[in-house]
Amino acid sequence: MRPISQIASLTLAVAVFVTAQCAVAGSQYVVLSTEPVVEELPPGKVFAPSDVINVPAGTVVTLLGEDGSVNPISGPAAFVVTEDALTPNSSPRAGDGQAGPSNLALIASLLTNERQRSESIGSARTTAGQSKPSGLDDPWAISIEESAPGCIRNGDVVLARRGMGERVVFSVRFGGGQSLTGLVWSAGKPTYSLPNPVPAQVKSFVVETNKTSALIEIKVFPQNAIPQNPVGVLGWMVSSGCKRQALAFVRQLVTKQQ
């Protein structure tokens, strides 16, 4: 597979037409981020075969292909999306039982809803926008500030809070009666890793501090899934209800391309 960014050398007039000889190995793409913000390229926009992707001068758009490729494109550039079968050298598809396009639709919906939510509260930012350092930047860390599903790998639980935070003494109560009490979350630490993996039979836990209490429903990354494929991971996170973690995963993907 040739990354979409490599096709820029084929510029013809104002457009690059992707042919069968130099086609990208994914037929659909979703916009993860646009820097600076461009109205025509909002996060969540999906491009299908025959669509033209126009990137203005001075703009960098990051696209996620249904084949799992992450493609940063710097303008000025234009591409025509073609429908091409994946090749043996392409990234593996999602291994969670959903086809790539279905996962791509889930990702697109998440990003579109997040953009609309941000716009409704007057927050103008891109998906890649970062605030101060926070444990919530880690896509595999579970927020203790709300009751929601939490996605984990290999039974490992990482807890997160906004900012660096002050010293906190807290407890974790697992479904079934087991508890961890007197845990100390040091000041200046955005995340806290539980000392032992969570047993497979545990389906939820409660994190309690002197100010907050959050019920977390555990979602375990499937053993037959492919962790190297961002489309599969993101689709699974969204379908599992781990929307905050999925957004953090998107920010991580974009940041790695910068």
Cβ count within 10 A of residue 189? 14
The answer to whether 247 and 110 are in contact (CB under 8 A) is yes
Q: What is the pLDDT of residue 27?
A: 80
Q: What is the pLDDT of residue 17?
A: 32
User: What is the rounded distance in angstroms from the CA atom of residue 139 to the CA atom of residue 151?
Assistant: 9
- The size of the chain, in residues, is 258
Nearest Cα residue to 129 out of 138, 137, 139: 137
Per-residue pLDDT of the chain (258 residues), as tens digits, is 334 433 333 232 223 333 322 334 458 999 999 999 899 999 999 999 989 999 999 999 999 999 899 999 999 999 888 876 433 334 444 444 444 448 999 999 999 999 888 877 665 444 444 445 577 999 999 999 999 999 999 999 999 998 788 999 999 999 877 899 999 999 999 999 999 999 889 999 999 998 889 999 999 999 888 899 999 999 999 999 999 999 999 999 999 887
Q: What is the pLDDT of residue 86?
A: 38
Structure tokens, 241: 């209800």
